[in-house]
Structure 1
Amino acid sequence: MAKRCSTYAVLAGFLLVGTAGVSQAAASMDELEKSTAEKAFAAAPKGKPNPAWKGQTFTIATLAAGPRGAISGPLYFWKPYFEKLTGATYRVVEIAFGDMQAKIETDFASGASQYDAVVGGQFMMGDYVANDWIIPVDKYLNDPSYPKMDLDSIAPAYKALDRWGDHWYAFNNDHDGMILYYRRDLFSDKKWQDQFQVKYKYALPNPPKTWQQLLDVASFFNSVEWNGPGKEHQGVSLHLKVGEQGFFDFLSIAAPYVVSAAPGGNPKKVTRYNNVFWFDPTDMKPLVNTAPFVKALETEIALYKAGSSAQLSWALGEAWNAFLGGQAAMCYSFGDVTPLAESAANSVIKGKVAASPTPGSTEVWDFQGKKWVKASGVNLVGNVDGASWSGVISRKAKNPDLVAYFLAWQGTPEINHWNTTWGFTGINPGTKYDFFAPFGTAKVEDYVNAGYDRQDAIDYVNAYQKQDFEYPLQLPYLRIPGTPAYLESLDVHLSEALSGHVSAQEALNRIASDWDEITDRLERDKQVKFYREAIGYTGG
């Protein structure tokens, strides 16, 4: 999940006022967490750590979320195990999401060399590689001295993010993608089914298949007292705070309006008009202020109004908390939500959490004809939307071999899968050992034994399997040089529209203008080349 803020800090208030039953449940989960971690540690491949590493230290920069927060959490959790294994240790430096680009790039570019490694967003890969700030890690992948990762198990879309050109640069870790979470009990309640049918003249979709359906459902549950008379209730919870990854919501909402299949025998072929999203691949002209993006932003604005007005100030933890605490009927987010619903002390929805892939659209924009066209059924576009936080090694690292050992160990099936099953880690599923047959080797019992409700686990894993393997198209991932700057502009101006200060069109025009300035600053001819290579455009 890729991500984020400290969920446990957000939930601290619930922990302080928990009942005896909650305390007992939390203690039981703590015991389960420890016992399953011990089993994972024992089973994980360990290679042959170098005795010379004993007493050495390195520094990892990552997302500021604390010892029990997403992405930083597992670094703290596994530290004593690593020290036991190698005799070495490491220091974790936490950086707020909005500051990561500036602090990491300043460190790398200046040669200050504070950070030996970064567990950071994959969208920074273009800047890393173009500036020669990180090293390829191919030599470690088949060296028997290093813990063995199962690289073939990584879903193709995520595997591509770990590589640049012919080389591996990142180690297997997190696999972000946005999906829909919703309350199974509400959607199966005849009372709400009947009322929805009367109001919208069609059956309550379980789950919503299109963004328009999701908007109808969110508006409906925002308008009825499904949580009891006088109790807080929201149709949907979204994380929309500037500087806290809210822009990722918008990207996957826009995807089915923007991304269209190529004509002919290969629907995934990238042409000037098909399977493109960010820019025109011929000249880097931004597409973000065109009609399908306007529709997507108007959709997001309407969704925002079907939830709490506080969503504009919500980071991930607050949005998740509204759903976990039983105030929101739905939550659209990364892969952290079901794992937290099963293990977080304040969750009141364990056993009630359904999940489904990101919705689609019944119409898609024709960029060549400049018009809307009806989709054949529903246009479904999967996503690896998010940071997919993964470890890279600085070219100035003082002991890159030791750093590589740690990152490879974290990427082994046993450790990585343990991380995906425990909500505090922020590590999301994306490998065969996370998925069920026919796509993977995991069993439902693997999740049940980690404390999951059986049906919650089935719905959660199936949502990602369907999105990762069965959706016909994918949202292209942007990671060319300058990507953090492009995304920062997107983030700021989207918020201007969501808050009502400007229209959707005006916000997107501002983004397009900024993107042109960024492209020109980085030299348009170079950016065109990077972009074409990144999306696989060869003409046509």
Structure 2
Amino acid sequence: MVAGVPPAFAADPPDAKAPPRPESTTVTVVQPSDVPVPRVLPPCAPGKCLFAGQKVTVIATKSAISIALLEVEEEFEAATGAELDIVRMPGIEHFPTIISDMTNRIGKYDASIAGGWWIGDMVAGGHLLSYDQWYDDPRFPKWSVDDVLPGPRNLLSYGGKKYMVAYDHDGQVMYFRRDLLADARHQAAFRQKYGYALAVPQTWAQFRDAAEYFTGQDLNGDGVPDHGIVLALKPGSQGMFNYMSLSASFVIGPTNARLYWFDPQTMKPLIESPGHVRALEVFVDLVKFGPREMLTWDHGRGWDHFLAGRAAFALTWGDLGALAQQTGSKVKGKTGAAQIPGTHEYYDLVQGKWVKTDAINRVGNTTGASWAGVISKYSKAPEATYFLLSLLAAKEKSQVYAARGSDGIDPGRRFHFLPPEGTGTTEPYLRAGWDAADIRDYLGAFQRTFSDKQQFPYLRIPGAYSYWLALDLHLVEAASGQLSPAAALKAAVVDFEEITIRLGRERQREAYRTSLGF
């Protein structure tokens, strides 16, 4: 994800209509950290430059997520002899521009730093080159797909071929104020009110109680009442991501690993199931414990609220944990993180009934953009393009990207995490100014999220954003009290059907089955 600009949503094919969306999620409470990235390649010798005279043009969103691309330009050109042209444009223009270039087979852009949900459109249209043929070629900078944890690794391939070169790894976790949960006064008051110990919430029922308890209390010492939770619910601005992450454990479980969005035989929407409805009821209930203004906030505004010490909990991406370490943060050294809570019961869409679980039913997620490099089938310099993308994926660079926070690139590879599960160290994070306790909570939360055997099924079919936008707009209607949760999801189903009919049911069915590995 990106501190500064959210994922670049856009319409599916260029002829589809979708409302424009806000561009900025600027964070104002903290200042960016300045951590240098090491060069890993020497300049090539005259006459021995691998791609001398070639030109690589990359399109990327004009936001923090393309900072690393700008940084590597000089090194890439010196190491290869090729010229690099970086085209950065607003997020609402990025996808329409690249998909139009591909659909019309122009080849103006060799590569894109693309969002994970774009792949359905790009692969279904036959517009991407797989990099399988170059992955083990010693001419290119080496990086390992196997280093990527299982959840985000699944997004790099489609239909058995590798298309996305690892860069950013998104997922959502629960952030909490460690100092508040450890406070003896709060512990005593919470136990008196709810009858059990105040601790890191493991279930959504516990999360609800803790959010309610902290609402109205002064959490940062400024004399102003604060909030139990902060969410970003501005229409068209990513609120549906929070719902996806929350709802996963109400629908996905040991007997239903993949069914959430559609029936893979008919493409009938499944999102008005009893599990989805109950999840939205929980979601709407939690909205009461945040500032009313968050119905109009994007994620940057929500992150600011947490960074200023004004919320006890947040559900969001890796950006917030990194931002909490930067100058201006009121919560450095106080920011805990854990895998998102779960349930003891989920609605199994396969069996059509509620299923109880002895253990807490948790579901990992890769909710978000997971920005990564893709190569256009119409590229005039595909090998030089893969060289660039693999250079960005190099371990030495990725370690810095994941720790510094200001580039929007989040961790997801084994060397980002600590032993025994990972192979990394705290050193890159300490160098970027992190608090030691915050590091361990943060990395543990994401390691568990990305390694969970149960993963939320990411939607990678043509028109994914159109479906998500429809869901988002109806979620806002529920959150604001305009519609009941059941009515909001029923309205979303109607929109889903219209989108499927417009794009072609059989085409969508085939893409959906391929994306899920059926």
The aligned counterpart of 2:26 is 10
Q: 1:292 to 1:41 in 2, by over 3 A?
A: same
CA distance, structure 2, for counterparts of residue 460 and residue 509 of structure 1: 37
The aligned counterpart of 2:333 is 351
The aligned counterpart of 2:140 is 146
Query: Alignment partner of 1:174: what SS?
Result: coil
The aligned counterpart of 1:395 is 377
Give the CA deviation at 1:511.
1.3
Question: Which ranges of structure 1 fall in alignment gaps of 5 or more residues?
Answer: 16-25, 263-272
Q: Deviations over 1:380-400 (max 9, x none)?
A: 111111111111012222322
1:116-515 → structure 2 map (5 Å cutoff): 116-205=110-199, 207-228=200-221, 230-231=223-224, 233-262=226-255, 275-342=258-325, 344-367=326-349, 370-469=352-451, 471-515=452-496
- Which of residues 60, 66, 90 in structure 2 aligns to 1:62? 60
Q: 1:312 to 1:74 in 2, by over 3 A?
A: farther
- Preserved CA contact (<8 Å) 1:182 1:330: yes
The aligned counterpart of 1:270 is none
How high is the TM-score relative to the length of structure 2?
0.89
Which amino acid in structure 1 is aligned with residue 26 of structure 2?
A: V
CA distance, structure 2, for counterparts of residue 234 and residue 48 of structure 1: 60
- Preserved CA contact (<8 Å) 2:248 2:456: yes
Please identify, of 361-370 and 458-467, the stretch whose mean Cα deviation from structure 2 is larger: 361-370
Q: 1:435 to 1:410 in 2, by over 3 A?
A: same
Which amino acid in structure 1 is aligned with residue 5 of structure 2?
A: C
Give the CA deviation at 1:314.
2.2
Give the CA deviation at 1:99.
4.9
CA distance, structure 1, for counterparts of residue 3 and residue 355 of structure 2: 35
User: How many residue pairs align between the two structures?
Assistant: 500
Q: 1:304 to 1:99 in 2, by over 3 A?
A: farther
Please identify, of 143-152 and 370-379, the stretch whose mean Cα deviation from structure 2 is larger: 370-379
Q: Deviations over 1:143-183 (max 9, x none)?
A: 22211112221112222211122321111111111001111
CA distance, structure 2, for counterparts of residue 507 and residue 8 of structure 1: 27
- Which of residues 56, 70, 84 in structure 2 aligns to 1:89? 84
Give the CA deviation at 1:310.
2.3
CA distance, structure 2, for counterparts of residue 210 and residue 193 of structure 1: 18
How high is the TM-score relative to the length of structure 1?
0.86
Please identify, of 246-255 and 216-225, the stretch whose mean Cα deviation from structure 2 is larger: 216-225
CA distance, structure 1, for counterparts of residue 309 and residue 151 of structure 2: 33
Give the CA deviation at 1:188.
0.3
Which amino acid in structure 2 is aligned with residue 121 of structure 1?
A: G
- Preserved CA contact (<8 Å) 1:4 1:63: no
CA distance, structure 2, for counterparts of residue 9 and residue 521 of structure 1: 32
Give the CA deviation at 1:407.
0.8
CA distance, structure 1, for counterparts of residue 299 and residue 80 of structure 2: 34
Which amino acid in structure 1 is aligned with residue 330 of structure 2?
A: V
- Preserved CA contact (<8 Å) 1:149 1:408: yes
- Preserved CA contact (<8 Å) 1:3 1:63: no
Query: Alignment partner of 1:322: what SS?
Result: helix
Identity %: 36
Q: Deviations over 1:285-308 (max 9, x none)?
A: 111112111121222222222112
Give the CA deviation at 1:114.
4.1
Q: 1:57 to 1:472 in 2, by over 3 A?
A: closer
Query: Alignment partner of 1:339: what SS?
Result: helix
Give the CA deviation at 1:418.
1.3
Question: Which ranges of structure 2 fall in alignment gaps of 5 or more residues?
Answer: 7-22
Query: Alignment partner of 1:60: what SS?
Result: strand
Query: Alignment partner of 1:102: what SS?
Result: helix
- Preserved CA contact (<8 Å) 1:46 1:148: no
CA distance, structure 2, for counterparts of residue 236 and residue 225 of structure 1: 13
- Preserved CA contact (<8 Å) 1:60 1:115: yes
Q: Deviations over 1:253-284 (max 9, x none)?
A: 1100001212xxxxxxxxxx554111122322
Give the CA deviation at 1:53.
4.5
- Preserved CA contact (<8 Å) 2:175 2:337: yes
Query: Alignment partner of 2:357: what SS?
Result: strand
Give the CA deviation at 1:2.
6.3
Q: 1:191 to 1:510 in 2, by over 3 A?
A: same
CA distance, structure 2, for counterparts of residue 371 and residue 386 of structure 1: 29
- Preserved CA contact (<8 Å) 1:497 1:507: yes
Which amino acid in structure 1 is aligned with residue 247 of structure 2?
A: A
Give the CA deviation at 1:214.
1.4
Please identify, of 423-432 and 84-93, the stretch whose mean Cα deviation from structure 2 is larger: 84-93
- Preserved CA contact (<8 Å) 1:2 1:176: no
CA distance, structure 1, for counterparts of residue 480 and residue 445 of structure 2: 31
Give the CA deviation at 1:246.
2.2
- Preserved CA contact (<8 Å) 2:171 2:318: yes
Q: 1:417 to 1:155 in 2, by over 3 A?
A: same
CA distance, structure 2, for counterparts of residue 100 and residue 117 of structure 1: 12
Q: 1:402 to 1:281 in 2, by over 3 A?
A: same
- Preserved CA contact (<8 Å) 2:25 2:301: no
Query: Alignment partner of 2:318: what SS?
Result: coil
Q: 1:9 to 1:360 in 2, by over 3 A?
A: closer
The aligned counterpart of 1:534 is 515
CA distance, structure 1, for counterparts of residue 120 and residue 49 of structure 2: 35
1:11-30 → structure 2 map (5 Å cutoff): 11-12=27-28, 30=34
Please identify, of 74-83 and 152-161, the stretch whose mean Cα deviation from structure 2 is larger: 74-83
Q: 1:63 to 1:314 in 2, by over 3 A?
A: farther
Query: Alignment partner of 1:329: what SS?
Result: strand
Q: 1:167 to 1:248 in 2, by over 3 A?
A: same
The aligned counterpart of 1:519 is 500
Q: 1:107 to 1:312 in 2, by over 3 A?
A: farther
- Preserved CA contact (<8 Å) 1:182 1:354: yes
Q: 1:532 to 1:457 in 2, by over 3 A?
A: same
Which amino acid in structure 2 is aligned with residue 10 of structure 1?
A: T
The aligned counterpart of 2:17 is none
